[in-house]
Copies of this chain bind each other. A is one copy, B any other.
Amino acid sequence: MRQERVEEYLGAVYRLRSDADTPLPLAQLAEYFGFSPVSVHEMVQKLEEGGWVQYHPYRGVTLTEAGTDAALALLRRHRLWERFLSDVLSLPWDEAHTVAGDLEHAAPEAVTERLSAFLGEPEACPHGGPIAPQATSALEQCLRSLGVGAEARVTRIAPEAPDLLRRIAQLSLMPGSLVKIVAQTAEATGVALLAEGGRQAVVPAADARAVWMEIV
């Protein structure tokens, strides 16, 4: 197995899983990568042989300790590069995410640590993802799930799909933004309406599911 492939799989498992013990169905991994389920199954078997994941037939994969460590290290590198690209080189945040997706595989531990120090030991990526690997705050709720009248602060955008990031940026909904839900459209197909610092914006339901908030 090539190192980069291993990392991509472990990173994906970490990002997509709901919690550490609930196995992630291979179908979800396949869909995430756009690979056939058969290919993902093959790769997962190799990952299990390598001691990175545990495979639970008919249920999915969980990360072993080694797998979790590797995934966390990857995510940390990813987010540090994102900060560098975004803060130091002023790259748009969707491009920062994309480029970091390559750089993340090419920085040994020593470089990562020095990069973190240079950046001032940041705590989150430009999209709100934690850099010091810690549990996601249990207080986070997605924008979609908030009711009319709620006031909340954006903590994070996840998942970090480039086109989604571009739309979110246009609405100025970056982490830190304070927001009040002023209206809500009908059910599944609906959108959420909200006002922020005077301005108003309409967030499509699908996008609202990727915006995570903390009620204030």
Contact = CB atoms under 8 A, between A and B. Distances in A.
Interface of A: 85, 88-91, 95, 99, 102-103, 105-108, 110-111, 114-115, 118
A95 B90 CA distance: 26
22 contacts: A85-B111, A88-B118, A89-B111, A89-B114, A89-B115, A89-B118, A90-B114, A91-B110, A91-B111, A91-B114, A95-B110, A99-B106, A99-B107, A99-B108, A99-B111, A102-B105, A102-B106, A103-B103, A103-B106, A103-B107, A105-B106, A106-B106
Q: Which 6 A-B pairs have the closest CB atoms?
A: A102-B106, A89-B114, A103-B106, A106-B106, A99-B111, A88-B118
A86 to B, nearest CB: 11
Copies of this chain, whole number? 2
A90 B103 CA distance: 19
Contacts of A114: 89-91
Nearest to A103: B106
Contacts of A111: 85, 89, 91, 99
Nearest to A115: B89
A99 B95 CA distance: 22
A89 B89 CA distance: 15
Nearest to A99: B111
Nearest to A111: B99
A133 to B, nearest CB: 21
Contacts of A106: 99, 102-103, 105-106
A126 to B, nearest CB: 15
Nearest to A92: B110
Contacts of A90: 114
Contacts of A89: 111, 114-115, 118
A91 B114 CA distance: 9
Nearest to A117: B89
